[in-house]
Amino acid sequence: MEKIVLVVEDELLNRKLLRDILTHRGTVVIEAGTGREGVDLANEKKPDLILMDIQLPVMDGMEATRLIKANQTTRHIPIVALTGYAMEGDEKRMREAGCDEYLSKPFRVKELLKMIDSILGLRSIEGTGEKA
Ligand code: MN
């Protein structure tokens, strides 16, 4: 069964990059541009994984993560926080908000894929001859 990944990211170029990586990896990608939309889509679609930017309009990634993790029907969904311009304490704050993993931008594609594969239980790229 196809895995669904929700990308919550307001920068269109970053979103395109993540969409390309995930689509190539064989997952279905759904997208939100604000934290509010992200919370709503998580509720509606129950994705297998959420990639969450921190700096987002309307509602930031920290608040969106808190709401998703406070909701009984979405709290099991793993959230990977992706942050640009990582500030001192960002990781601690995001982990306190409830995110499961944390990657600061710019991340290496291989690093992101490894994390996604392990969370989704996909066979690792490594050793398959597939180009990352
Ligand atoms: Mn952003």
pTM of the model: 0.89
83 CA from centroid of ligand 1 (Å): 8
Near ion ligand 1, which residues have CB within 5 Å?
10, 53, 55
- Residue 125 confidence class, pLDDT cut points 50, 70, 90: low
The residues spanned by each domain of the chain are 4-120
Q: How far is the CA of 38 from the centre of ligand 1 (A)?
A: 13
Alpha helices in 1-132 (DSSP H): 12-24, 35-45, 61-70, 90-97, 109-120
Distance 128 CA to ligand 1 centre (A): 33
pLDDT class of 16 with cuts at 50, 70, 90:
very high
Write the class of the CATH domain 4-120: alpha beta
Q: What is the DSSP letter of 121?
A: T
